[in-house]
Structure 1
């Protein structure tokens, strides 16, 4: 390994104060690392290059992390980083970790860059609202679970669902949005629809309210029948997958009336007693809303619900009235006072 670089020059480089000659000196120093006979000479040439790349990556990571450090501590941290990267111990430390863990540097780096996943399990009695990184909204029903990337990358957006959820997908013509629910794959570009795929159910259903959705089965082509082919759904159409028969069927009309809670409505109340508000909401969304608490029933509400579905309205009521609700038998909403 060649001579060390002055920490002062590195400090100037990180601050952006180097002239062209000093920058050239730094780049020459970085390119000068060669395997010594007593440390990394046994490594292949490719791995030596990987060690250098990892070291440079670590330098960059340390610089980026300093951006959030208190100003009074920044200069000392700069010094720590600079003295670290200007010593031969940097490469030797990486080499030690590689030998001890049996992991190559490129593998370590690739794991560090893997997108982080979120797994949300709704064990409460309410419908949980989830906003994804692309702006899409997922309304996760009770006893359901959703897995997704914290930030969508590349040319696709993918989530995995167990149970039931209603999706309002942000339009993106370059990146399809795919939902994996058992053997069923639902793919869209921007639309609103519901997927119901509980493990105990005999069927998986996809109901479309707006836009266009494709539904297919994740099975080998040689095992498919005519009913297994991909189907395209338009608004108010549904696809039903029979788990036992392995068949996918398209219906031109949604048969499940509970889809009504996801249709958006415009409703206005002007100092209306809540018992009457519940009656209007129940009729509008084809559900049953009630409360056993007379204090809630006798309260009054003044509100405008414009282009809102029932779960969104229930969230507003929870915040405004300081109440909670639970879902029973899929279409019954029971309100209680907050404890």
Structure 2
């Protein structure tokens, strides 16, 4: 007997017993599921979502051709290693129960992703409202209806540059364990450092946690993605799910996906996907030391890469042993970072790519 309590909606919708009850009104299955619901009344939402998914599958059934079903059965048979279904090049007359099963698989695969995305987005929206409702201090709401950015100064000394068509909500005083603000639209934050009272920005489906730094958040209503770009310091970004929020609130350190200067993250809420990368034009860090020189004369490539890493705060990954005989003579003072990297690679016969906010150098040596 399956433990249906731990099922996801798409898993329940794909269950044979559940389908016989919903789609074919089987009296035996109906008796079982009605009794199960009496014993598991807290799972009504799960059953309702699975029903909705099956209803959507039924409505879309006529849009799937026999050939599409046959192709999907072929793909699935290879995926599980049976390889018992031949790939169809012409329409194949399936037995009705096979056809319905394959069509359900096709719809459930697509519908499951849709339902997961909708459920996750709804949960995060509810989490947004719940966090907002728990703030006891009086709230201030500022909406920028003009055409120029508006500067807002918070009581802790932090400042916000609010862009047009954007709105920020925040308490008049930060009295609790956290400093929390709520953003719709785009804003640049300069956060006053206070390690004992972390600063949170809740924006649509994504939350950002910082101790003291500067960064930009873009989360307009209607946009599919939320974007965070870091200028100075470190931030932690995480989806606004109940579990992630609780984890962050209970930890004084930055956990989750951490961003450093010249890094950005794009969160696709529907797929719950976080993609980290370097910003398009990384800037020199404001280091408390003399301005770094990019004049190289017979300099080992390891020193060149170390200089760039320190100056831009980026990670450059390469094989030091393979490139131990590579040296660089060049003046790279004014070029943007990626142009510097491109010139270096052309000079020493290497190639580069960007992966997860790092620069990967590949070379056969010099």
Q: TM-score, normalised by structure 2?
A: 0.36
**Bigger proportion of residues as strand:** 1
Q: TM-score, normalised by structure 1?
A: 0.39
